[in-house]
Amino acid sequence: MEEERRPRFRDRVDAGRQLAEALQPYRSADTIVLGVPGGGVPVAVEVAKRLKAPLDVVVTRKITIPGNPEAGYGAVAEDGSIFQNEPLVAQLGLSQRQREHDAARVLVELQRRSALYRGNLPRASLAHRTAIVIDDGLASGFTMVAAAKSVEQQGAAGIVVASPVASESAYNLIKPMCDAIVCLVVSRSYRFAVASFYQHWHDLTDEEVTDFLKSWQAGRTDTRNEDPLP
């Protein structure tokens, strides 16, 4: 874990390559890499390549604060599980009806994204595997909380959360919820923004995410021809 130095990463591919070095101790035949779409996918692709691990996605999405689409008060997982920041909900004065409406809207979008991404990447079994769950950055941390809980419910034997950068609050939120957390930079900045740690940054479109998944599929060699793990 390193104190912040901005910008630290050229782009998400560069971040994935750097993160993969820190994750080498988890290189094993039982490891699977899971990317959180959208921005977590290119990072996860690079990690999976270097760990010679299978790749999957875990689709989650934050529930945004009304009038502030960049900030969230919770997240929804692909299986419909909802995780909310209860103190923030109370501070915002959101009604139960509003919360249910927001979560239902997010779930519809999740189902659309899941169907789109699964067309390029069949779901993998997590049973008896160590799942490395990857995003391109952890701001509030609630999207990753939803992802980690979803992975746990799918029967993963162990959960490692990994991200190139995280806010200190997100790091502390997630740490007790997984077996290990690997972050190259943990920021104590009050005005934290994931994008500020990247030289080149933009929100990925669905097409860009699916292109990364297609390239992963196309670039995979037959596992029978891969070098054996050390």
Report helix angle 40-51 to 12-22, nearest 10: 40
Residue 182 forms beta bridges with which residues? 162
What are the structural domains of the chain?
2-59+125-224 (3.40.50.2020)
Does the pLDDT at position 52 exceed 80? yes
Does the pLDDT at position 3 exceed 60? no
Q: What is the pLDDT of residue 202?
A: 92
d(CA 77, CA 115): 14
pTM for the full model? 0.86
Report pLDDT digits (tens) over 75-93. Answer: 888 878 888 888 888 888 8
Cis peptide bond N-terminal to 7, omega within 30: yes
Query: Per-residue pLDDT averaged across 39-57, rounded?
Result: 95
d(CA 127, CA 23): 20
Report pLDDT digits (tens) over 180-229. Answer: 999 999 998 878 889 999 999 999 999 999 999 988 888 774 443 444 44
Q: What is the pLDDT of residue 221?
A: 47
Report pLDDT digits (tens) over 102-151. Answer: 888 888 888 888 888 877 677 888 999 999 999 999 988 888 999 999 99
CA neighbours within 13 Å on the CB side: how many for 109? Answer: 16
CA neighbours within 13 Å on the CB side: how many for 31? Answer: 22
Q: What is the pLDDT of residue 23?
A: 98
Does the pLDDT at position 5 exceed 70? no
Q: What is the pLDDT of residue 6?
A: 59
